[in-house]
Every structure is written in structure tokens, then in C-alpha cells.
Amino acid sequence: MKKRLGVNIDHVATLRNARGEKHPDPYTVALEVLKSGADSITVHLREDRRHIKDIDLKILSSNKIIPINLEIASDSTMVKIALKYKPSFICLVPEKRDEITTEGGLNLKKNRNKIKKILDVFNRNNIRTSLFINPSMQDIKLSKILGSKCIEIHTGKISNQIKQNKNYLKEFNKIKKCVSYAKNIGLEVHAGHGMDYKTTKILNKIKQIEEFNIGHFIIGESVSHGISKVVKKFINILR
């Protein structure tokens, strides 16, 4: 099975917004990402629009060839926006105003009615929709009951353990068991959050994970390793 890579470009917008101007441009980066072989672009339209803005989504969606995975909170305004732009994929995520990033999976038990209704709407519109959940058997079972065809496992905990050189085996086995169960009941499984090269290598051993969605590390590495090319360009101009 060919593993798919989705690249989250939220932090290209974070950099752009730091100056309030137009550079770097998420659309240009999205095209580069796809040209390099990635399968999709992820953007999270947050309530506070701290990185990706509505205009970014409009521009990205205007190019019908870009496979967009839109992350949104389970909120009726966001559902309306999603239906307006009809991205290829949607991922429902929890959202808290003062969190730095998406800190955990959805609380399916608490929000089951709301999430079911949203899933029904997107299923009717043939938009592949995944639920961002913690690696928990209960949440996987509930995802299926609510009508989801896809889940994305939050890999924040294992990613931190790996980065901090802690023992990650227990968490790895938990994720592996969850993935296997999810596949058995007919769900497609994705993974995302906090991944770097090492985490991805380790999680890629779980063969049934079909898609990895990675953001912050890719943008960070692009700065670290892309800077040399840009500095050389300036030296060429100056000397």
C-alpha cells in the first residue's frame, strides 16, 4: 500500500502573518509541496484565524487540482464554510481558543449528537471526513457508530515520548492495537501530530496507517535546510 503524505501548511501562514504582508505565500508553498510528491495539503481554519484565513482557503480551493484536507471544529459556521468551498477532505478537530496547537482528540462522547449530524452532512456531500481522536478503542468504536469512514489518530503523546528519549513501547502497542481494530471494523486510519523523521519512521511500522499528516516539523526543517539556498542567492546578487 502506498502511504500518503499530507502536509499541513498552517505555519507558512503564521510566518506570513508575522509581517501582515503577502510573503511567504501558502498557495505557492502548496504547489511546491504537491510538486515534490505529497498527496494533499492540510489547512486548519481556526475560529480566531490565527494562521490560515478565509481568503487562503478561497485561493487554494480555486485551483481544483489541489487536494485540500480542511481541518475544522465541530461548529455550524465552519460547516457552512466547508460546504461553500467543498474541499476534497475534512478532518473534524477539537479547538480551544487558548491552546497553542490541537492538544488532544475529540470528545466524542460529549459531542456525539453534534458530530453525527456533521458527519451526515459531509457524507451526503461525498466529502471524505475523518475524526481526530486519541488512540482509544472506545473512541474508535464510537467513530464507527457515528457514521465516520475515517479516523486520524492523535500521535502527540508518542511523538513527545520519542523526542524525549522515553520508553514509547506501551503507547506504540496501544496505537497498533487501535489501528488494527479500526481497520477490522472498516475504518480508514490516518495519523498526525508532533511527528518528525524519527517518529514517522517508527509509526510507519504500523502498516495499516494509510496517511500521515505532518506540519510544524516540515515547515521548520524547510527553514533550517532551505536557508542556505536563499542566502547563496543573495550573495550572488550582492557580489
Give the residue numbers annotated as catalytic, written as ranges: 44, 71, 193
Phi–psi pair at 163, nearest 5 degrees = -65, -35
- Name which of 21 and 37 has its Cβ closer to ligand PXP: 37
Sign of the CA dihedral with 205 first, then 206, 209, and 210 last: positive
Residue 84: half-sphere exposure toward Cβ, Cα within 13 Å:
12
**Is 62 among the residues that bind ligand PXP (CB under 6 A)?**
no
CB crowding 138-168: b at 16 or more within 10 Å, else e: ebbebbbebbbbbbbbbbbbbbebbeeeeeb
Asked if 195 touches ligand PXP (CB under 6 A), the answer is: yes
By CB under 6 A, how many residues form the interface with ligand PXP?
Answer: 18
CB-wise, 71 or 172, nearer to ligand PXP? 71
Residue 162 touching ligand PXP (CB under 6 A): no
Is residue 139 close enough to count as binding ligand PXP by CB under 6 A?
no
* Closest alpha carbon to 140 in 188, 75, 96: 188
Contact call for residue 194 and ligand PXP (CB under 6 A): yes
DSSP 3-state assignment of 120?
helix
Residue with Cβ nearer ligand PXP (74 or 213)? 213
Stretch near ligand PXP under the rule CB under 6 A, chosen from 48-56, 117-125, 175-183, 211-219: 211-219
CB of 227 to ligand PXP, least distance (A): 20
Q: Does position 148 bind ligand PXP by CB under 6 A?
A: no
Cα separation of the two ends of the chain:
50
Residue whose CB is less far from ligand PXP, 91 or 146: 91
> Cis before residue 87, ω within 30 degrees of 0?
no
**What span, in angstroms and rounded, lies between the C-alpha atoms of 117 and 74?**
10
Considering only residues 40, 46, 71, 148, which one is a binding residue for ligand PXP as defined by CB under 6 A? 71
Report if residue 8 touches ligand PXP, rule: CB under 6 A: yes
Q: Is the Cβ of residue 66 or residue 134 nearer to ligand PXP in the bound state?
A: 134
CB 105 within 8 Å of CB 127: no
C-alpha to C-alpha distances, 180 to 75, 104, 208, nearest whole angstrom: 30, 21, 7
Question: Per CB under 6 A, which region of 19-27, 108-116, 178-186, 189-197 contacts ligand PXP?
Answer: 189-197
User: Residues 28, 101, 125, 204: which binds ligand PXP (CB under 6 A)?
Assistant: 101
Phi and psi (nearest 5°) for 91? Answer: -125, 120
- Residues in contact with ligand PXP by CB under 6 A are 8, 44, 71, 91, 93, 101-102, 132, 152, 192-195, 213-217
